[in-house]
A and B are shown apart, each in its own frame.
Chain A
């Protein structure tokens, strides 16, 4: 009886393993592929070196005046010099602690909610914080004579702080109205359904900029003499009117995704319309639409840059404003690039977050 000696397998040829194998497989597997790879390398060669050169290698990071700074590349000290402007706008510097404190409070709230294990407590705490928080934020940022906090008028607000405020107010204010509109669109009552549809489709058909124009120019004309809105408030009203229509559509998607059986079971259990909606349907519909709500928030965050057109100094407007400083003429590119990077990072994180939410809520197999 002979015993077969198993032959050791030969190792794969070097063109199929390791770095070389990877390259052969992914970049140079055919003639077209090679051509494409070379083309993209050329593209990278065209774009990346000059960009890196402008941003890093030739750029000036040290403390210099505008004239001493290099002309052919970025002068990042300019950003350093204008940092508080980019972050807080014209907010008085001795009051910077207020927005900072607000950030700290926000983070504490979020952490506190996270740490609460018990579901019921968690919901109650979240809900009450949700109600208290806007007031805290308002009194901290705007101030109040009654509480002895110095009032800072909204025309001093600006920068990233304002961008965040506009986006946050837009999403929070549009949420409840959006729910009602979404319910209205689904309603069996014809007039209510048609009114909701008319509003939603009307708003979705026109660009935000015309709504902002309307809010800033026409709004005061619609109210009795003496009722005067602050410029920021007008823009916020415009943005809320706009965002409401989009949120309503997102929530409608959620409502439609709730299985029919849920509606029927709630009816069969003898729940009233309000009970059915608030205890059975909406919790499920909202959960389904959370990723899309985050997506809609991302879109809103991008759209907040438009407020610069009605004369409000969000971060992008600051990039334009800061270059009017006679000491720093001709540094607009640095400002725009800096703002782009900040907003990009924020939006990228948000879109990653929405992707993880989508995965977490996707219970299908």
Chain B
């Protein structure tokens, strides 16, 4: 009677129907309760709150914002702060990770042990702890603005953060940008032209001189011809604090320091694994074929090492971006701190706010993994069938 249950096709359908019903029921139950609870507790719903005046100040913002701005403005400030912290963290982490990774493979005993110690220490301490540690260290060890450390007569470091000279564009600077874009265009043309020539004649030309001239020389000469249309706004001590210039808060410094120091350990391991994955025979074979050291590195070793190293490194970039959300713990105004923190406390619409925050991070990670897929595709080993 129940023999139809043993039919694979029917089973498949049955299981899938059960799964869908189960998920639908859970969703229905949750949404139903949600609606009921929202009404019971008198929580507003909808995205109307985004147009309401935020009414609070944010100490650090890279886009225009005042306490008169809307909650949506606060959202954008949080988003840009998250992106800025992530990008700067990624740059520092990559540089540090590269240095440590190479150092770890050095023949020099001291250097490689130092790098290994670094990795073992900082990889095994939770990132949040490191953020709190650096922040605390900065608060207790940095001087008051009056006695700030002065680097190169224009960069000041004190308890309130770091102050840098801020470049301000004057009229005519747009021409420099146009020149730079033109330079980029010329680069592509040069590459295309010499590739074609290489295909036709087999002669390889050195091209970096053209690149340098079009990317740096062209904008620079336009810049000088127009009479340096840029000036620097130097920070200056006024009363108890510095004004002017470009400033970053201690919270920002702590989060960037912690993120880059922590992620650099993983990046260095990826780089080490990449370099170690290339068989010794590859190098020997390349040299035996008569390639120079430089060519061996450029055409044989690096492409193979990078294929192994780059996917985990991009994964670390993704992790770094997600970890930047911990900035909220020391009061840095990132997306989680501003939006899921202050705005949530003021408006109380947890559902919308947390869903929006999640959507942002999901988008960021989708973008990064899309980039990863593109990289993987371009670096794949091209087989015989292609």
Contact B114 A43 (CB under 8 A): yes
Q: How far is the CA of A309 from the CA of B129 in the complex (A)?
A: 12
In the complex, whether B323 has a CB less than 8 A from a CB of chain A is yes
Q: Which residues of A contact B322 (CB under 8 A)?
A: 206-208
List B residues 295-336 near A (Cβ within 8 Å): 322-323, 325-326, 328-329, 336
Q: How far is the CA of A337 from the CA of B357 in the complex (A)?
A: 32
In the complex, whether B362 has a CB less than 8 A from a CB of chain A is yes
Q: Which residues of B contact A102 (CB under 8 A)?
A: none
Q: Which residues of A contact B121 (CB under 8 A)?
A: 344
Contact flags (1/0) for B31-72 with A, using CB distance below 8 Å? 001101110100000000000000000000000000000000
Contact flags (1/0) for B101-121 with A, using CB distance below 8 Å? 000001111110010000011
List A residues 200-235 near B (Cβ within 8 Å): 202, 204-210, 213-214, 217-218, 220-225
Please give me the residue from chain A that is nearest to B17 by CB atom. A191
Q: Which residues of B contact A217 (CB under 8 A)?
A: 344, 350, 354
Contact A26 B109 (CB under 8 A): yes
Please give me the residue from chain B that is nearest to A41 by CB atom. B110
Contact A305 B128 (CB under 8 A): yes
In the complex, whether A336 has a CB less than 8 A from a CB of chain B is yes
Of A37, A191, A221, the contact of B37 (CB 8 Å cutoff): A221
In the complex, whether A303 has a CB less than 8 A from a CB of chain B is yes
Contacts A210-B357, A309-B328: A224 and B129 contacting too (C-beta < 8 A)?
no
Contact A207 B323 (CB under 8 A): yes
Of A204, A206, A330, the contact of B358 (CB 8 Å cutoff): A206
- Nearest Cβ distance between residue B368 and chain A, in whole angstroms? 9
Contact B325 A343 (CB under 8 A): no
List B residues 325-359 near A (Cβ within 8 Å): 325-326, 328-329, 336, 340, 344, 350-351, 354, 357-358
Contact B136 A302 (CB under 8 A): no
Of B106, B109, B136, the contact of A333 (CB 8 Å cutoff): B136
Contacts A205-B361, A210-B340, A344-B124: A336 and B354 contacting too (C-beta < 8 A)?
no
Contacts A192-B19, A309-B329: A221 and B132 contacting too (C-beta < 8 A)?
no
Q: Which residues of A contact B125 (CB under 8 A)?
A: 340, 343-344, 347
Q: How far is the CA of A27 from the CA of B132 in the complex (A)?
A: 37
Q: Which residues of A contact B1 (CB under 8 A)?
A: none
Q: Which residues of B contact A202 (CB under 8 A)?
A: 362
Chain A contact patch, size range: 35 or more
Please give me the residue from chain A that is nearest to B130 by CB atom. A340
Q: Which residues of B contact A221 (CB under 8 A)?
A: 33-34, 37-38, 350-351
- Nearest Cβ distance between residue A229 and chain B, in whole angstroms? 13
Q: How far is the CA of A195 from the CA of B326 in the complex (A)?
A: 29
In the complex, whether A110 has a CB less than 8 A from a CB of chain B is no
Q: Which residues of B contact A225 (CB under 8 A)?
A: 36-37, 40
In the complex, whether B277 has a CB less than 8 A from a CB of chain A is no
- Max chain B Cβ within 10 angstroms of own Cβ: one of A210, A333, A343: A210
- Nearest Cβ distance between residue B292 and chain A, in whole angstroms? 20
Contact B354 A347 (CB under 8 A): no
A sample of 12 more A-B contacts (CB under 8 A), given A204-B365, A214-B358, is: A26-B109, A36-B108, A206-B358, A206-B365, A210-B340, A221-B34, A225-B36, A309-B328, A316-B132, A340-B129, A343-B126, A343-B129
For this complex, 26 residue pairs linking A to B, each with C-beta atoms less than 8 Å apart, are: A26-B107, A40-B110, A41-B110, A191-B19, A195-B19, A206-B361, A207-B361, A208-B322, A209-B336, A213-B340, A213-B354, A222-B34, A224-B36, A305-B128, A306-B326, A309-B329, A316-B126, A316-B128, A332-B136, A333-B137, A336-B129, A343-B124, A343-B129, A347-B125, A348-B120, A348-B124
